[in-house]
Amino acid sequence: MGKLTNQGINSEWRLVGGNWVPLTRVMPVERMLLSSYEFRRDITVFAPSDEILGLFENMGPQCNWTIEIPRSSNNLDYDAISDIKFAMYFDADYSDSLATHTKALYPNTGGRSTVLSARFQFPDEYFRLDADRKVSFSLNQSFFAYNYGDLKLSAFGVRLLPKTGGPLAGVAVKVTRTSDNSTVTGNTDANGVLQGAVTTMAPFNAWKGVSPLDEFSVQLDAPTDTTNISDVQLFFSYTFTYRADGTL
């Protein structure tokens, strides 16, 4: 025994005066009783008229759906339930003009930020940190969504995380980009970070607007105690253009 309840706010598009406008409806509460009852030797079963809407008929599917299965009325071992599957069937109309309208609401470009960990995403590099005094981050297409194109760096930085004690400030770091062998040197700040300026990306300004699909290595100066480094992180932001439909 139980109940399935539908309620909430439903949003949809309506064509009004030749223009598509969003319509919001506050849906009434409708509730269906859940039962294991089956028709057997019932003398009469009264069916509702076809002129009356059925349960949940014309209700918005994106409303709030709540299932209640009271403990007091069900002979169930609730600890044995691993999942509840909810199947829904509904009709929908497709409109080419609405598809064109909604697509125009979204930009063709975007931006994302990413933090990469040498310890967790490049473990082979991290475990050679003591011997090589550097880690390399090889960024291929698997680090980016496949519907992103024309990737361009807009921010860049390196962070050193300590195992014990305070931030690793004042550490001399050299960052190299493999594609052109260009290097950027600098010292970490009070938070153990070497970060490019917000607008110019300096001291990484030469890499502003270039593709992040490259290999970047972070090398530490000789006096640095690498045994106290718990992780080396590479973080960056980038802009992109959504891949056009119909292209591979």
Residue ranges covered by each domain of the chain? 2-103, 109-242
Q: Which CATH architecture has domain 109-242?
A: Sandwich (2.60)
- 10 Å Cβ neighbour count for 111? 11
**What's the whole-model pTM score?**
0.70
Beta bridge partners of 12: 23
Local structure of 90: helix, strand or coil: coil
Tens digit of each residue's pLDDT, the chain (248 residues): 899 999 989 888 888 998 999 989 898 899 998 888 777 766 666 777 778 888 888 888 888 999 999 999 889 899 999 999 988 888 888 899 999 999 889 899 999 999 999 999 999 999 999 999 999 999 999 999 999 999 999 999 999 999 998 999 999 999 999 999 999 999 999 999 999 999 999 999 999 999 999 999 999 988 888 999 999 999 999 999 998 887 56
- Strand 148-162 relative to strand 229-242, pairing: antiparallel
